[in-house]
Structure 1
Amino acid sequence: MQTADVVIIGGGVIGAAILHEVARSGLGRAVLLEKSTFGAGSTGKSGGFLRVYHTDSFLSDLAAASFHEFLELRAHIGYVRTGLLMLEKAERVTEMEREVERLTKLGHNLQSLSGSEGAERFGGLEWQGVGGAVYEPDGGYADPVLTTRFWIKEARSRGALASEGTQVLEILHDNGRVTGVRTNRGVIQTSCVVLAAGAWSAELLRPMGIQLPVRSKTIQIHFLMRPEEAVEHPAFLDETTDIYARPDQSGLSLVGLPVDEWDIDPDLSVPADDAVRLRQASAKRLPWSESAWVSGGRRSFDGYTPDGRGLLKPADEVQGLLYAVGWNGGGYKLAPEIARRVVQDIQNRK
């Protein structure tokens, strides 16, 4: 029977970041288990946006603590600096400016813009209905799968194990304590399990009688071909329409839109058949998109919590179980700091 000091369930970017942080923190033998291939879930479908500012200061702090590490890794993760805009509703402008001021004082490069300032500076976007915006000159995107595999490679070089095609069938526990995991390849004994399985997390805990407040939700993504006359836009997220977009290679733009489909089965493939609605929504910001050529699309998904903050804490129900799940499609840019906080929780219980 195999043993480990820490078992991490889920081989996406969050799980890989935690494995890397556990390995370099010297907490003992760390094992990462992924039932498919590394980055096969929502990580592989993420837009990879990198930014600091969020409407929630808790998420801003996670992103801010992670951002510099991404910049240090930019040669390994496919980082592209496009600049990044967050478009806010008028009623949010006062809070937006307060958060930008707080983050700027901490040394982060952010700028507050009024709607008219944004329209003058970024004329390739439509600004109707935008109350204000935050611009991050160093913002952009990177490749979440490259990042995942880089962290796994670094962790392996420090003696950690990472296994694809290894499905966790059951988290074993006795007298309120974790004792191991049962997989399709056998049992691994451990006193510490970190759950980072994204949209699969709630289902894995249900047999333990734990109702995890994480629900799966669909996200529609398409790649649109920009016409030659279109001005290349920065990456942006739009709180007024829920769309997000960024430039991609070969004259394409990635455009995403949450879909009101909840509690989906993430193991089922859903056809990408909602291009019309996505293009109509994106035309409010990218006027050329409604008639643009669609160069492929896909349905993505992630785990969502009611407050949008994710779950990052030890479980109340079982000692030795820690949660790192429910990041609403935005976990990539938070991963380094999530990993550091998980390691702190592990150290605190020793």
Structure 2
Amino acid sequence: MGRPEKEFDLAIIGSGIIGAMIGHLAAEGNPGLRVLTMDDGNTGATHLSAGLDVPTGHTAGQRALAARGSAVYARLRAELPALPIRPVDTYWVIDKANLHRLRESMAGPRLTEADAERRDWLAGVLPGLRTADRLLLRSDGGAHADVGRLAGRLLDEQRRRPGSEVRGGSPVTGVRPRDGRYELTHGDEVYAVAGRVAVATGARAPWGPFGDVARARGLRVKKVAALHLGVRPPDDAPVLVFDDHDAFLLPVHEEGYWLLSFTSRHWDLSPGDGPPDLSPEDRATAAGVLDAYVPALAAEVCGGRAFYDGYTPDRMPLVEPVDGWPGVVLALGGNGSGYRLAPAIAERALELLSLDTRKGDRS
């Protein structure tokens, strides 16, 4: 640390999946670009993310971002087969009255109704699954990633590029102008100088550089929660989305359990208070989902996870330049879908920085 004489073309504050994706796409389009990513080790949302990519969205804007993200990940899987991303079959359990809403939310995948054979098969995968009075649908195009490992792979590639670095240590607490460029600082210490800066600090954004701007744009911090269910899923187990409850059941084959992601209602928390716990309210919410769909799993809870993420009022990522700071862009507000939307967020941030790197797979 403390090497102010070293300059970079682009500095990224934050090494979660959004920051890692910004650095990766920037170098793809500009191989000689000198990129610095500042890693302070606080990437809870990335390392604890469920990593599910099912391209949907409640608004046209969300659907466009989700579709773009899926397209970029498909390209990356083809170019870098070792990345920890795998296809996953996706099934939907939904009340018939909500079918139109679900169809409108799809950003590319096609919905088909599961036949009796598929229902019987799922009953074997998840004994006691309740679908008799609901629609059971299937869609293609789903994928699951180990998001922490994926971000690590992208950062490792950056480390290997001449002139680029990934630095760990104390967080960047300030950005200040210097002769048409920007110094990244921690207290009085200058870490580096860069011509452009992307701020991708996730749930810590309200307390980090340009936190006043993030707060003024309505960015709030919410808990994201999931339970682990100690039943080993079969190798061909799909993900089941319970759209009426904003929840899903994901097979985590590598660890040998099912993950139930559900909606936590805890808002306006601070990462500075330490990692969050699953509250009694969280557990009651999860129990309600299990009781509605797979009551046999209610007795199989073997753990869980919780982390913070930044949410915006309209649930669209906050990707915009900072007024009065030319060459500085915010890339915040994963809204619980930071992995799924990271490619589209990164592309937009780079466009605003005049580093448009979209390749020939535009969609």
User: TM-score scaled to structure 2, two decimals?
Assistant: 0.80
**Cα distance, 1:238–1:253 mapped onto 2, change above 3 Å:** same
2:149 maps to amino acid = L
The answer to whether the 8 Å contact 1:63/1:334 transfers is: yes
Give the counterpart of 1:271 among 268, 277, 300: 277
**Cα distance, 1:151–1:120 mapped onto 2, change above 3 Å:** same
Please list, as runs of the form range in 1=range in 2, the aligned pairs for 1:188-337 lying within 5 A after superposition.
188-204=192-208, 205-206=210-211, 211-226=216-231, 234-249=238-253, 251-267=256-272, 268-274=274-280, 276-277=283-284, 278-292=286-300, 294-316=301-323, 318-337=325-344
Give the counterpart of 2:59 among 31, 56, 59: 56
1:323 maps to amino acid = L
Post-superposition CA distance 1:245-286 (Å, at most 9, x none)? 201136410112222111111131233354742233233122
The answer to whether the 8 Å contact 2:53/2:70 transfers is: yes
The answer to whether the 8 Å contact 2:131/2:293 transfers is: yes
RMSD of Structure 2 on Structure 1 (CA)? 3.4
Q: Does residue 110 of structure 2 align to residue 110 of structure 1?
A: yes
2:73 maps to amino acid = F
Q: Distance in 1 between matches of 2:177 and 2:117?
A: 57
Post-superposition CA distance 1:148-172 (Å, at most 9, x none)? 0111122233332111224111122
Q: Percent identity?
A: 22
Q: Distance in 2 between matches of 1:319 and 1:113?
A: 51
1:24 maps to 28
Q: Distance in 2 between matches of 1:233 and 1:209?
A: 40
Q: Which runs of 5+ in 1 are unaligned?
A: none
Post-superposition CA distance 1:18-77 (Å, at most 9, x none)? 01111222273211112126xx32001100002222222322222222224423444323
1:140 maps to amino acid = A
Q: Distance in 2 between matches of 1:301 and 1:243?
A: 17
Give the counterpart of 2:88 among 71, 82, 86: 82
The answer to whether the 8 Å contact 1:244/1:257 transfers is: yes
**Displacement after TM superposition at 1:126 (Å):** 2.6
2:84 maps to amino acid = G
Q: Which range is displaced more, 145-154 or 84-93?
A: 84-93
Give the counterpart of 1:343 among 339, 350, 362: 350
Post-superposition CA distance 1:219-245 (Å, at most 9, x none)? 2222102389x9975213333212222
**Displacement after TM superposition at 1:173 (Å):** 4.2
Q: Does residue 166 of structure 2 align to residue 152 of structure 1?
A: no
Q: Distance in 1 between matches of 2:306 and 2:322?
A: 31
**Cα distance, 1:97–1:272 mapped onto 2, change above 3 Å:** closer
**Displacement after TM superposition at 1:331 (Å):** 1.3
The answer to whether the 8 Å contact 1:236/1:245 transfers is: yes
- Equivalent position SS for 2:271: coil
User: TM-score scaled to structure 1, two decimals?
Assistant: 0.82
Post-superposition CA distance 1:68-101 (Å, at most 9, x none)? 442344432322333123555656533543454x
**Cα distance, 1:97–1:206 mapped onto 2, change above 3 Å:** closer
Q: Which runs of 5+ in 2 are unaligned?
A: 357-363
